[in-house]
Amino acid sequence: MTIQDVAHHLGVSWDVIKDMQKRDLIARYSHIYLKNLRCIAIDEIAVRKGHNYLTVVLDMESGAVVFVGDGKGAEALIPFWKKLRRSRAKIKAVAIDMSPAYISAISSHLPGATIVFDHFHVVKLFNDKLSDLRRDLYREAKDDLHKAVLKGTRWLLLKNPENLDAEKREQERLEEALKLNQPLSCAYYLKEYLRQIWLQPNKEEAEKVLRDWIKTALASGVKMLMKFANTLAAFKSGILAYYDYRISSGPLEGTNNKIKTMKRMAYGFRDMEFFKLKIMAIHETKYALVG
């Protein structure tokens, strides 16, 4: 039930129920025992308009949120590092996106941990670049035919081939756009090949696929693909680390979706401390609570 429903049922004010719940959450989540943490994922979520963020840390073994920090980037994690040092936890691996701020923070505070670049973020980053490429090609098209074919193909390019709608002729429309534009065709097929990096039986085979992807992209002559190939080459170790620790921020993305749903149901949270406690309670932690 919502706070409002409980308050109405008991004949008391909304504030009374909210304060009761907040006190309970403080008692349960103010001091979480972190010593057993081994593998974590870190990501941020937008909570308000105007680039207001919270940074969320998830325990990959229990699925529990173990920290919620204000803002995003390295500064948001400072309180977490302090708690982690006190707990003497031995973190083995951290799943993150390719954010330089996160990389620097983890290298400084967890020098012995393996950084695993989340494959969902890698694919998303490429999809964003693919969308930009299509937009640029549309603007550069010199005749109406090319413009007409490229128009409205963004979502077709981003869809997995098996999800294309036959009744809407999406496959035919996509193929028409790819035939008319070689750079777009090359980028699209490399998008599909990119996923294969994380579908190999072992690290050695994955490295071969990654090396082949980079070689093909560099030889394409397409500026966007060449730049992305250099990015993958620079982050190669973190990409292949997935085969040492098969973790990703996928579960954290699911938690973030629950946070967004909770926020919508509450029509926003004016009390940010209460909101952060509610996030901690999304998954009941399996750790003992202290205090």
Same domain for 113 and 169, yes or no, is no
Confidence of residue 284 (pLDDT cuts 50, 70, 90): low
- Cα gap 179→185, rounded to integer Å: 7
Average pLDDT over residues 240-254: 87
pLDDT of res. 268: 55
Same domain for 143 and 110, yes or no, is no
Same domain for 70 and 213, yes or no, is no
Same domain for 139 and 231, yes or no, is yes
Residues in the chain: 291
**pLDDT above 90: percentage of residues in the chain:** 44
Same domain for 223 and 169, yes or no, is yes
- Cα gap 171→188, rounded to integer Å: 13
Same domain for 190 and 134, yes or no, is yes
Name every residue whose Cβ is closer than 8 Å to that of residue 128 and which is 6 or more positions away in sequence. none
CA 132 to chain centre: 20
- The answer on pLDDT for 256 being more than 80 is no
Phi, psi (degrees; rounded to nearest 5) at 248: -150, 170
Same domain for 84 and 109, yes or no, is yes
Average pLDDT over residues 230-258: 89
Between 192 and 291, name the one with better pLDDT: 192
Phi, psi (degrees; rounded to nearest 5) at 183: -60, -40
Cα angle: 235, vertex 178, 128; to 5 degrees: 35
Domain assignment of residue 62, yes or no: yes
DSSP per residue over 135-157, as a string?
HHHHHH--SHHHHHHHTT-HHHH
Domain assignment of residue 201, yes or no: yes
pLDDT of res. 110: 95
Identify the H or E element spanning 114: strand 114-117
pLDDT of res. 158: 81
Identify the H or E element spanning 278: helix 272-280
CB atoms within 10 A of CB 226: 15
- Cα gap 160→156, rounded to integer Å: 8
Least confident residue range of 78-87, 198-207, 210-219, 246-255? 246-255
Q: Which residues make beta-bridge pairs with 58?
A: 41, 65
Domain assignment of residue 290, yes or no: no
Pair 164, 174: CB distance under 8 Å:
yes
- Domain span at 59: 31-118+248-280
Residue 52, CB-side half-sphere exposure with 13 Å CA sphere: 7
In the block, which residue shows the tokens 């680039």?
A: 51
Average pLDDT over residues 158-162: 80
Amino acid identity, position 274: F
Domain assignment of residue 22, yes or no: no
- The answer on pLDDT for 86 being more than 70 is yes
Mean pLDDT is highest, among 2-11, 27-36, 81-90, 210-219, for: 210-219
Per-residue pLDDT of 165-215, as tens digits, reads 887 788 888 888 788 788 889 999 999 999 999 999 999 999 999 999 999
Average pLDDT over residues 237-252: 90
pLDDT of res. 286: 42
Pair 28, 284: CB distance under 8 Å:
no
Domain assignment of residue 143, yes or no: yes
Per-residue pLDDT of 22-73, as tens digits, reads 898 888 787 787 888 999 999 888 877 656 889 999 999 888 899 999 998 8
Same domain for 112 and 184, yes or no, is no
pLDDT of res. 290: 39
pLDDT of res. 287: 42
Collapsed DSSP state (helix, strand, coil) of residue 13: coil
Task: Give the torsion through C-alpha atoms of 17, 22, 25, 29, to 10 deg.
Answer: 180
Same domain for 232 and 131, yes or no, is yes
pLDDT of res. 168: 79
Domains of the chain: total: 2
Same domain for 108 and 220, yes or no, is no
pLDDT of res. 50: 59
Same domain for 234 and 255, yes or no, is no
pLDDT of res. 285: 42
> pLDDT averaged over the chain?
86
Domain assignment of residue 14, yes or no: no
Look up the pTM and report it.
Answer: 0.80
Same domain for 148 and 76, yes or no, is no
Pair 251, 41: CB distance under 8 Å:
yes
Domain assignment of residue 18, yes or no: no
Per-residue pLDDT of 270-283, as tens digits, reads 788 888 888 888 87
Domain assignment of residue 19, yes or no: no
The pairing of strands 39-48 and 52-59 is antiparallel
- The domain that holds 73 is classified in CATH as 3.30.420.10
Confidence of residue 155 (pLDDT cuts 50, 70, 90): confident
pLDDT of res. 77: 95
Identify the H or E element spanning 95: strand 93-96
